[in-house]
Structure formats: structure tokens, C-alpha cells
């Protein structure tokens, strides 16, 4: 009897399918798009996809936030509302603090809040420990919500800030009191410059849009971490 190559392929596929079903082998949850996101999971290219799915699933998104201890995130879920005519907000929370304190609380979409906590745990703090042997304790931001179009232009599309889907980060403070500012330290050939570069690179693995001083003059003094797009990093 002659076995056709196509029958071999079909046979292999069936065995693989049964294998997954019987859990002879499993995909690690951080690589499995159908497994819910956990903050403690290592980052993979699938992480951004999982974050995007949380945009339409408030319950699942809030469950991720609720899984965090109080010292990793303090927040208040907000009912959908329209703070400024033309910019309704949905699926948002008010963030009081995360593992770091902020200059002031801010309204953020739930997925942006998840993205920030992922970033802090998996990229920001490890970078600070690696370069300074310190943790970041405080972050200065320039806000998350602004009812406007990009570049304040009338005919441009709505900014990510109009939906509270982006956070502008200006500076970091370390446990020893040292302050690192995007405006002052970006591009410097020293530890602060290296920290900022690495802090931005790390954000690109999580946020959909990451902009900094190299993008344009409007970002000379802050990083823009936004949820739209996929690894747009400048
Ligand atoms: Zn921004």
C-alpha cells in the first residue's frame, strides 16, 4: 500500500490536535493568546495582543487590576462619563499610584493601566536596578486625558489622549533621591542617558505607540506611551 504524503501531513496534524486537547504538551500561557493576561507572566509578542483584547472586555480588564496587591496599584474604577463634550470616556479608572507614586492621580483607560503595571514590573524597575542598583519610586507625568486632536490641529484625528489611552512621562525619581528627566538627560552619554534610552525601548514591547525626543520637538520633554497601534516606536 502506498501512503500519500498528504495523508502523512493530515495524520501529523491530527496527532498535534489531539496532543493539545489531551494536554500532552501545552503552550506557555504567556504565548497562548487564549489564556488571560497576568501581570506576572513574562512579556512576549503575544502580550500586546492580549492587551488589545482587554479594550473591549472591561470585566476581564478590571479582573487583571483587581489581581494586583495594594502596593502595586491603587485605583478607582470609574463609570463611563464625558468630562468634556466630544470626548466621552469608557472603560476607565483613576490611578492613584502603582508601585511608584505620581505627581498627581490620573484617569486612564483600563488597558493603559494594565500596560503601565506590566511596564513598571518587567521593564522600568529592572532597568533602574541594572543601571543604578536602585528602584524607581516616583514618576512625574504630564497627564493622560486631553480632549484634543493630535498636534492640536483642527482637521487631524483624535489624539490617544482624548480617550485617556496615553500617558506622558516627564521624569523618574530613584529611591536614593536621584532625578532623571527626559528633557535634561535624553541623549546624554552617561548612566541617565542610558537609562532613558532603555526605559523607552522597554516600553515599545508593551505600548502600541511610544514617542520620545527623537520623534519631534513636541516630545522633547516627555515620553508618550499610548495604546493604539502595534510597536510604533520613535
Ligand atoms: Zn502624549
Mean pLDDT of the chain: 92
130 found inside a domain: yes
- What pLDDT is stored for residue 25 in this prediction? 67
- The pLDDT tens digits of the residues spanning 97-137 come to 999 999 999 999 999 999 999 999 999 999 999 999 999 99
Q: How far is the CA of 163 from the centre of ligand 1 (A)?
A: 12
Residue numbers of the domain that contains 220: 67-233
61 found inside a domain: no
Domain count, the chain: 1
Q: How far is the CA of 212 from the centre of ligand 1 (A)?
A: 9
Q: How far is the CA of 37 from the centre of ligand 1 (A)?
A: 25
- Confidence band for 15, pLDDT divided at 50, 70 and 90: confident
129 found inside a domain: yes
- What pLDDT is stored for residue 38 in this prediction? 93
Q: How far is the CA of 200 from the centre of ligand 1 (A)?
A: 14
- Reduce the secondary structure of the chain to three states and give it as a string: CCCCHHHHHHHHHHHHHHHHHHCCCCCCHHHCCCCCCCCCCCCCHHHHHHHHHHCCCHHHHHHHHHCCCCCCEEEEEECCEEEECCEEECCEEEEEEECCEECCCEEEEHHHHHHHHHHHHHHHHHHHHHHHCCCEEEEEEEECCCCCEHHHCCCCCECHHHHCCEEEEEEEEECCCCEEEHHHHCCCCCHHHHHHHHHHHHHCCCCCEEECCCCCHHHCCCEEEECCCCCEEC
- What pLDDT is stored for residue 22 in this prediction? 72
31 found inside a domain: no
216 found inside a domain: yes
Q: How far is the CA of 62 from the centre of ligand 1 (A)?
A: 24
Mean pLDDT over residues 216-233, rounded?
91
Q: Is the pLDDT score of 44 beyond 90?
A: yes
147 found inside a domain: yes
- The pLDDT tens digits of the residues spanning 61-83 come to 999 999 999 999 999 999 999 99
- The pLDDT tens digits of the residues spanning 136-152 come to 999 999 999 999 887 77
11 found inside a domain: no
- What pLDDT is stored for residue 21 in this prediction? 75
- What pLDDT is stored for residue 7 in this prediction? 82
19 found inside a domain: no
Amino acid at each position: 500500500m502506498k501512503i500519500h504524503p498528504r495523508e502523512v501531513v493530515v495524520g501529523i496534524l491530527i496527532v498535534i490536535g489531539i496532543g493539545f486537547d489531551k494536554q500532552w504538551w501545552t503552550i506557555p500561557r504567556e504565548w497562548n493568546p487564549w489564556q488571560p493576561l497576568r501581570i506576572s507572566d513574562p512579556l512576549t509578542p503575544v502580550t500586546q495582543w492580549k492587551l488589545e483584547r482587554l479594550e473591549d472586555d472591561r470585566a476581564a480588564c478590571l479582573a487583571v487590576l483587581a489581581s494586583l496587591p495594594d502596593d502595586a496599584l491603587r485605583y478607582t474604577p470609574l463609570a463611563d462619563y464625558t468630562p468634556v463634550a466630544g470626548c466621552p470616556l469608557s472603560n476607565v479608572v483613576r490611578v492613584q499610584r502603582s508601585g511608584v507614586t505620581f505627581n498627581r492621580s490620573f484617569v486612564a483607560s483600563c488597558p493603559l493601566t494594565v500596560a503601565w503595571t506590566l511596564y513598571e514590573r518587567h521593564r522600568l524597575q529592572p532597568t533602574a536596578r541594572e543601571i543604578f542598583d536602585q528602584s524607581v519610586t516616583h514618576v512625574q507625568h504630564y497627564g493622560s486625558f486631553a480632549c484634543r486632536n493630535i498636534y492640536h490641529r483642527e482637521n487631524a484625528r483624535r489624539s490617544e489622549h482624548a480617550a485617556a489611552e496615553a500617558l506622558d512621562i516627564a521624569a523618574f525619581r530613584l529611591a536614593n533621591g536621584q532625578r532623571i528627566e527626559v528633557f535634561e538627560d535624553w541623549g546624554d552619554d552617561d548612566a541617565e542617558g542610558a537609562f532613558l534610552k532603555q526605559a523607552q525601548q522597554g516600553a515599545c514591547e508593551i505600548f502600541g505607540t511610544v514617542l520620545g525626543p527623537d520623534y519631534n520637538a513636541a516630545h522633547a520633554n516627555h515620553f508618550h506611551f499610548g495604546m493604539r497601534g502595534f510597536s510604533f516606536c520613535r
